[in-house]
Structure 1
């Protein structure tokens, strides 16, 4: 950040430049030289290579963890699937051989890694279908639900966090922070059940306004009627996700902006006659975005994972509900495949955030 004693001029009110950019230009004495550009490109390449290598190692660790983590779960998948059926020991042994559960652990692990490296996540025990196909079938429903919620609560958290920090100590700031902390501490499944009781089942004379679960009514609606039906079913689960999700973005944005508000470059911008809202939008907020960018991309990673508890409570036919079904058996190939998909989405989103950092702040990665 620039200071009041820096000989270089601060960013002009009308150019939208951040203080870090102005300082870099002034230090170089004008337009950046080709050598400086080459050095910056090389620095970014080293930064990107390091992050890509870290992401690859993380994915490898996820593959190993996903295999051994779910092998320690209690329960026998074969006995669970044949519960209530008359089966002989020979039939159980045949099923274990069919699923490869009679092999030594090291051989099961070698087979799993070999299949995963070829993009094959195995075959589900209970659905008798490729895990990749089952995941692909559930992805659209999860993207619709959690994607809508993430976009809404990220935007809401950024907006409220900025307003709270800029007016810190005010009644609105205390109210926003208090409500956010309260909702953040509420379990999502409990809030979802509460919303079902109040708005689906109805209390006293209040009739149920929304469905208790599912994605559609199954009445054969098409076109715009089908869109309205799905939107009607989305209201309560989306509200649940927004209520428990926006607080984190709000608190991170508020804290980051409060750290920036004491900067000398903001005092300089105000002394030049810049309006307060422009000081906030063009100078303070861009410099406070780095921690929030991480939070937003982590939230985007949750889009692929969905919300297991919320999807289960509202019987939403997405990846979260599928994971709950697989875990109850346990359906080892399906649980492992979903775990890899969830963790992989988080790793990719964090990688994108790391690659964007130097573009938002040139000091990162040098």
Structure 2
């Protein structure tokens, strides 16, 4: 019942948060420099004032901001994200086409970074003060300080150009669908490795440092010392008393970093020509395609909110003490 009440309360808060986010996104996008009518007119080969006025009237850009905002909010309530200025297609169709590749990339990067960070952080924490701890901490610091785009380019130079092990760009080979279901999945996996590792690297470094610090702190607590005094094995102490408590700040931090992970996908998808929401966002910004930008920001915000709700529930499962609050 407590969990159900938590979910219902959060869902009500999510609806309110989505409306607030929609208003903020609308104001920020419309405050950005650039005129989409000029972009559309330029693509048509005409910048005549009469033609510009017609374009603004066709897309509702000649209406006051308050009227445009009201129209936008009404469309959101009916799940209508509008039409793309540039492509003339429903925004929902464009987003659904790109959502799958982005979820594949971000979820892969998330699990790689989280699992890798917990493993390496635990190893560094258990070997605190030794050469293993020093090496892992130094590597994590270097990864954390490395720009994402530079790391991606270096991985391409090494694994694609020099070693020729992995493809450098794209989602799949043009002939991949002729390989069969298994062959197509393996080809997508090969294309996924470099962008997923690039996106995961910085977050893995952060989780590693956080897990190391948390494990060192937990190791000094009284309940761990009591468990050792009772004669429990180190593996039992690690599983039952240390890892569970040390993982709580990592889980919390991981939930907060989901938004940054989605934002980082914009750079990674651009570097690797990955056909996801990040690449669509980049194209929409350059084209001043307001409906696409607003739709993308709204969908990304909903994804981040949903993941944070899921993180909260997982947190309560890992730490039963939270379930009674």
- Look up the match of 1:134: 94
Alignment partner for residue 179 of structure 2, among 219, 222, 240?
222
Per-residue deviation, 1:96: 0.9
For 1:4, the equivalent position in structure 2 comes to none
Higher fraction of helix: 2
Cross-structure match for 2:231: 273
Deviation at 1:266, TM superposition (A): 0.8
Pairing 1:210–2:166 present: yes
Alignment of 1:3-14 (within 5 A): none
Give the direction of change, closer, same or farther, for the CA distance of 1:245–1:358 in structure 2 (3 Å limit). Answer: closer
When the two structures are superposed, what TM-score results if normalisation uses the length of structure 1? 0.81
User: Where do residues 133-212 of structure 1 align in structure 2 (5 Å cutoff)?
Assistant: 133-200=93-160, 202=161, 206=162, 208-212=164-168
- SS of the residue corresponding to residue 253 of structure 1 reads helix
Residue 296 (structure 2) pairs with residue 345 (structure 1)? no
Question: In 2, are the aligned partners of 1:302 and 1:346 still within 8 Å (CA)?
Answer: no
1:242 matched to 2:200? The reply is: yes
Distance 1:123 1:352, change over 3 A: same
Distance 1:358 1:198, change over 3 A: closer
- Residue 259 of structure 1 aligns to a residue whose secondary structure is helix
| Alpha-carbon distance, 1:356 to partner | 3.6
1:123 aligns with 2:80: no
| Higher-Rg member (1/2) | 1
Please point out which of 28, 43, 55 is paired with 2:14.
Answer: 55
What secondary structure, in the 3-state scheme, does the structure 2 residue paired with 1:328 have?
Answer: helix
Alignment deviations for residues 193-240 of structure 1 (CA, whole Å, 9 cap, x no partner): 22223333x3xxx46443331112213532133233222222221221
Distance of 1:143 and 1:72 partners within structure 2? 29
Alpha-carbon separation, structure 1, partners of 2:141 and 2:206? 9
In structure 2, how many angstroms separate the alpha carbons of the residues matched to 1:144 and 1:360? 26
Cα deviation 1:80-132 (Å, max 9, x = unaligned): 23326134222211111111100000000000111111111111111111111
* Residue matched to 2:57: 97
Mapped contact 2:60–2:68 kept (Cα < 8 A) = yes
Contact between 1:301 and 1:346, CA under 8 Å: does it hold in 2? yes
CA distance in 2 between partners of 1:253 and 1:159 (Å): 9
Q: Which moved more, 1:268-277 or 1:101-110?
A: 268-277
CA contact (8 A) 1:146 1:302 kept: no
User: Alignment RMSD, CA only?
Assistant: 2.2
Alignment check: 8 A CA contact 1:142 1:306 kept: no
The equivalent residue for 1:294 is 252
Question: 1:290 and 1:328, CA in 2 relative to 1: closer, same or farther beyond 3 A?
Answer: same
CA contact (8 A) 2:284 2:292 kept: yes
Separation of aligned partners in 2, 1:360 and 1:226: 37
Q: Which of 245, 262, 284 is the equivalent residue of 1:326?
A: 284
Task: List gaps (5 residues or longer) in structure 2.
Answer: none
Instruction: Give SS of 1:317's match.
Output: coil
The 1-side partners of 2:207 and 2:76 are apart by: 35
CA contact (8 A) 2:252 2:315 kept: no
The two structures have a TM-score, normalised by structure 2, of: 0.90
Which ranges in structure 1 are unaligned for 5 or more consecutive residues? 1-40
CA distance in 1 between counterparts of 2:311 and 2:104 reads: 22
How far off its partner does 1:51 sit? 4.0
Instruction: Quote how far apart the aligned CAs of 1:300 are.
Output: 5.4
User: Could you tell me whether the CA contact under 8 Å between 1:305 and 1:319 is conserved in 2?
Assistant: no
